[in-house]
Amino acid sequence: MNTPVNFAVVRIALIAALGGFLFGFDTGVIGGTQLFFTDYFELSPAEQGWAVGSALYGCFVGALIAGYLTNAISRKYTLILSAILFCVSAWGSGAASSLTSLVIYRIVGGLGIGFASMAAPMYIAEISPAHQRGRMVSLYQLAIVVGFFAVFLATYYIGGGDSASLTDLETQTAYQHNLERGWRVMFWSELPVALVFLAALLFVPHSPRWLALKGRKQEAINVLCRLSESKQQAEEDYTSIQRSLRASQISSIKSLMAGGLALATFIGVMLSILQQTSGINAILYYGAEIFSNALGYGPQDALKQQLWLGAVNLLFTFVAIFTVDRWGRKPLYLCGTVGMIISLSILGYSIQNEVLGITALVAILIFVGSFALSMGPIVWVVLSEMFPNNARSLAMSVAVGAQWLFNGVVASSFPIINRSEFNQDGFNGALPYYIFAGFCVIAFIFVWRLMPETKGRTLEEIEDMWVKR
């Protein structure tokens, strides 16, 4: 039976998902800009890794702090704070006069991403009915990839567009412009969206589960009436929420290590870690450099190839949105992970044996598409719905914090490993992709054996699943 879509839920979820757009835009902008600010500031590989990865450590800290903020000041106000930080970071990164100032503003942006990456999917899950929740939380992942695609488009055109018709002099002039000012404009292009996000958040309600947590019964029921099919359904939902909140609030990491909650926390943390060790963000952050160096494209053409990454990422995220509540979380994850393993192996083989060009490009695109179908949306959906109401803020904070910590480790270490003599002499530059493929194998086995299916269950029903363990 087809249940009608609640468009109030869709509208609110879309506004919250703008946090995902800015997440994608802010993390993706580094892919185009680092080609130029690396030369502008004359950075070493380690300094380049620090410039790219610094924001991710801000994300790590932000995700941990968000566990407290989402409970103390609400999911909504945490998102508003993230929007303010996005604005500050976008302006400051473009105005940076040194590596130090660039890193400071990137860390500020990282804090905003950390807040949004936890608060947005949690908020969307808590305002969505069970039959819509997978699709609504997947909107957050869609917004991330739209943000990536938008920033690739922005950096491509700000960077000079298609260079095929340019003379050598015009190409050099475009590069010089990007070296002096273009990368700054790329950072500034995030500012208008951040301001729209900030303004739109003023018109969304608080999460009914947060209101119930704070004892604001009538406000919670009023919000549930907007989000439910009837007042009776809203009151039933409120009763269910209240029942789940009777357990004492989990406020320490030690408390997460008891009973079924310990298993839920372990699965959440491992899903986050394995998402990052798949290598997706190394390829998205350093895509322009990979296309430029490993695959033989020039800097301008490398920006153009990134558009393919963004387009494929976007297309397959739509596939995930329309199948996640039909097929389930687990089948999509396993199917996509197989594609990631195969494509990374082909990419590694192609680079090691110098079979470059279309073969390597297609392998990268298959990898990105497979990720967009599986690890990308599924991890966010599962993290947002798998934890009990009384532990969701803290447990999500720990899981998302682990995600950003390993994101930072991968981003910072990739240029060092990629340019190492061991990689260049022993694998001709292919070693990172073999490592990523190995972690994808581990991810497949882990999800196949341990991750439960949560399709179609209410948040409170999922909570009972852990309580009974």
Q: pLDDT at residue 457 above 60?
A: yes
Q: Place 194 in a pLDDT band, splitting at 50, 70 and 90.
A: very high
**What pLDDT score was predicted for residue 177?**
77
395-404 pLDDT, tens digit per residue, is 888 888 898 8
Q: pLDDT at residue 288 above 80?
A: no
Average pLDDT in the 340-368 region? Answer: 88
**What pLDDT score was predicted for residue 181?**
84
Q: Place 8 in a pLDDT band, splitting at 50, 70 and 90.
A: confident
Q: Place 1 in a pLDDT band, splitting at 50, 70 and 90.
A: very low
Q: pLDDT at residue 370 above 80?
A: yes
Q: pLDDT at residue 75 above 90?
A: yes
The per-residue pLDDT of the chain, averaged, comes to 84
Q: Place 158 in a pLDDT band, splitting at 50, 70 and 90.
A: confident
298-311 pLDDT, tens digit per residue, is 555 555 666 777 78
Q: pLDDT at residue 467 above 90?
A: no
383-437 pLDDT, tens digit per residue, is 888 888 777 778 888 888 898 888 878 877 888 888 889 998 888 889 999 999 9
Which two three-digit tokens encode residue 241? 């929420």
Average pLDDT in the 440-444 region? Answer: 97
Q: How far is it, in rounded angstroms, from Cα 8 to Cα 229?
A: 11
Q: pLDDT at residue 294 above 70?
A: no
Average pLDDT in the 203-232 region? Answer: 87
Q: Judge contact between 83 and 316, C-beta under 8 A.
A: no
Average pLDDT in the 440-457 region? Answer: 91
pTM: 0.76
Q: Which domains does the chain have, with CATH numbers?
A: 7-467 (1.20.1250.20)
**What pLDDT score was predicted for residue 47?**
86
